[in-house]
Structure 1
């Protein structure tokens, strides 16, 4: 399985102002309000978001993805590795020679689920993937375009973790999440649906 993020979030989409406010209230740091400092804070936010999204399988701000599979995990229903999925733009079969065949939209459907979205066939099964070929799914995942609409517990977890990264800069950070961050994301965590014996 190959998952490619095809959208890059602009710094303007990140909650830099919220992190600045959180750092001042939480630690009393006097942060310089300049471009270099804002870019550094954006970097800590990106790192914190990547960690939270990796631990939960939930996308906070909407982005486009391309999923490439050597074969379907289950031809009766292919789980998507990130959630929530609001739109699937294309389901395609790529032949060994690189040519793409786009499946008609009426031959499959998206089963929306905040934990386990699926692509299901409208017929008996998804089409066979040829030897040396792949299945390609292009989809959009994420809770919102605006940070204010991200679930509050996940948004708070990102700010707390980004603040920890800021405070630990220049030091070797530990691998474990802070306890408060782990508690905030716990209800969003799910067993990764593409892990295990059937994943390809």
Structure 2
């Protein structure tokens, strides 16, 4: 009987993977962990009336990019704006964005376009970060998590080991503002 209890103890102890136990403790370059960031977010959103906007940006090595701006008022998504563009050089030699497609959604139409980042609250980004990106096999992927200066999540995702072009899977918040 003692052997089976001993065996059961080690089975339970080692059956929980490192990913399951430590995903929410991951710390970014900012020095803020996922758990600390989520707590900071909860406090700040209450102080600021749960009204904010954030921008998710992507730019390919080939010069094409997109930007989605999500606006939230009192905890409800009020607007989603999208821009798909190509970066080119102007006649003066400066890098400029040339619009290819854009839209603005409000009210019932939010989420009706297939292009652009999903209309998610920051709370949902924290959930997605933990369940979809920090839960990836660390042996096969480089995992990324970071926060801005205030401690709010700014990126979460992973890159498969060995991938070289446009490999990041996740999200990067390029701008955040309280409204």
TM-score, normalised via structure 1 length: 0.25
TM-score, normalised via structure 2 length: 0.26
